[in-house]
Amino acid sequence: MRFFTVFILALSTRAAVIPSRRSLNARQDTAAKLVVAHHIVGNTFPYTLQDWTNDMTLAAASGIDGFALNVGPDDFQTTQTINAFQAAEALGTNFKLFFSLDMSVLPCATVDDAAALRARVLNFTTHPNQLQVNGRALVSTFAGESCTFGQDTVADGWRSQFTQSPDLKGQITFVPSFFIDPATFTDFSGVMDGAFNFNSGWPIQVTTSFADGITSDLVGSGQGDVNDLNQFIGSNATDLQQIQDLATLAAGGAPLTYMAAVAPWFFTHFGADSFNKNFIFLADQHLYPKRWETLIAARDQIDIVEIVTWNDYGESHYIGPIEGALPTGSEVWVDNFPHQAWLDLTLYYATAFKTGTPPAIENDQIFMWARPHPVDAQAPDPVPAPTNFQLTQDQIWAVVLATAEGNVTLTDGISPPQSFDVVPGVNKLSIPIVPGGTLTGTLERNGQTVVQLATPGANFTFNGAPETFNYNVFVTSASSA
């Protein structure tokens, strides 16, 4: 409760009394930083109020201040939005919500489509749990760069029918994720109060042919020299570009809101007979912690971090529990592939982002994750291996949060164990994995075992002969307490 009161006061005080400081360094302000998570309401069909309460409680305990509610056109999504706001209010912890209007599925061709969108937003702009930024309700999108709402241009459509429409004008801070060249942000004066860089969570430019062009032995082998690709993992390049183009759009006025993304993984495998989406983005090399470290380093310039996502099972980048209604077909790659262990890493990094200081590590923790079959496995699957599968390596990725120095041993149970010295703080480690492999990690200190992570083979075994292609990841962890 207190946190957000302070946030709003800080913003209005800043605007009133320190414009000169702001013009010296537009973004080195003292406004509170926020961490939110993208929540796909389309996957919540069977949700009860208690399910929403559980999600919000777990998210808050993981350093997450709110959910960006990704909404599409189904009636049940309107009902579940109402449930979400009701649950948040009843919870009484000031957990925040805002819309991420999914313009890849919401209609946006006519003025009536815009009226429906405004009604949806206006219903909650003054709700106590609606996230307010700069004193106005935050509204975001997924896409929307093709919407005209019956006007001549996309910018005119959003401006006249949405942000400057008499009923909505002055009530929202609009931070869309338009998939456009940020050099064209200046076309969206009066529309964009900021930008959400949805794709910044992954190095999406690293396709197989891109990788082939810069490294000779990575692609196809799954075990090649990846050092040439490291520079793209967690990079701040698109953040800095969008921040600069937002400054141009702001034209010396109040700084605009920049919302960056962090994502732990990406794999989707829908055939031509369903959503027809079958690809990966590179997420090896500890993408999730590295991207967080990048955002923490640039935190002076980033207002909000949006975790992509809480529950997008279809694209394998969920960090929340597997629950609700999964997109039909995705059960094959999602069931038995928990990601919740990443929530503890999320707490560590979200706290560091918000406070500017890494939190004290109170318990030693080992995190391990791996895909379930070799990169070049063959499978009797009617849907082929996903586009860009060649980018990924047959490795176990591990992170150790260590309270003090120690010795860590990692093994897949097949190859000889490998030992590593760890230092206090975050340690990123990896070892190869081969068919039959499982996930075992041990932290010893002064001859004593401090943490033992042994994942039962029944829960996860690296399978040399899979029935279906699955480039999702199994995530597990263990703690000293």
Ligand X SMILES: *[C@@H]1O[C@H](CO)[C@@H](O)[C@H](O)[C@H]1NC(C)=O
Q: Which parts of this chain interact with ligand X (CB under 6 A)?
A: 78, 82, 119-120, 123, 236, 297-298, 405-407, 444-446, 455-456, 459, 476
CA distance 434 to 371: 11
At residue 301, the 3 state secondary structure works out as helix
Q: Which is nearer to ligand X, 82 or 465 (CB)?
A: 82
Do residues 140 and 175 make contact, with C-beta atoms less than 8 angstroms apart? yes
Q: Which is nearer to ligand X, 119 or 414 (CB)?
A: 119
Residue 382 C-beta: closest distance to ligand X, Å: 27
Q: Where are the beta strands (DSSP E) in 80-144?
A: 96-102, 132-133, 136-142
Do residues 361 and 381 make contact, with C-beta atoms less than 8 angstroms apart? no
Residue 385 C-beta: closest distance to ligand X, Å: 26
Residue 322 C-beta: closest distance to ligand X, Å: 10
DSSP state of 180: S
CA distance 42 to 45: 7
- Amino acid 274 reads S
Provide the CA 210 distance to its chain's centre, in angstroms.
24
Residue 362 C-beta: closest distance to ligand X, Å: 18
Do residues 254 and 33 make contact, with C-beta atoms less than 8 angstroms apart? no
Q: Which is nearer to ligand X, 72 or 220 (CB)?
A: 72
Residue 298 C-beta: closest distance to ligand X, Å: 4
Do residues 72 and 106 make contact, with C-beta atoms less than 8 angstroms apart? yes
CA distance 126 to 22: 28
Q: Which is nearer to ligand X, 82 or 434 (CB)?
A: 82
Residue 120 C-beta: closest distance to ligand X, Å: 5
Q: Which is nearer to ligand X, 117 or 249 (CB)?
A: 117
- Residue 60's alpha-carbon distances to 73, 94, 336, 431, in angstroms, are 28, 10, 24, 33
Residue 480 C-beta: closest distance to ligand X, Å: 14
Q: Which is nearer to ligand X, 84 or 280 (CB)?
A: 84
First vs last C-alpha separation in the chain: 30
Q: Which is nearer to ligand X, 78 or 151 (CB)?
A: 78
- Amino acid 435 reads P
Q: Which is nearer to ligand X, 389 or 462 (CB)?
A: 462
**Tokens read off for 274:** 């369903």
Residue 6 C-beta: closest distance to ligand X, Å: 26
Do residues 84 and 97 make contact, with C-beta atoms less than 8 angstroms apart? yes
Q: Which is nearer to ligand X, 239 or 394 (CB)?
A: 239
Do residues 283 and 265 make contact, with C-beta atoms less than 8 angstroms apart? yes
Residue 183 C-beta: closest distance to ligand X, Å: 20
- Residue 254's alpha-carbon distances to 14, 134, 194, in angstroms, are 11, 10, 11
Residue that the structure tokens 């990406």 belong to: 266
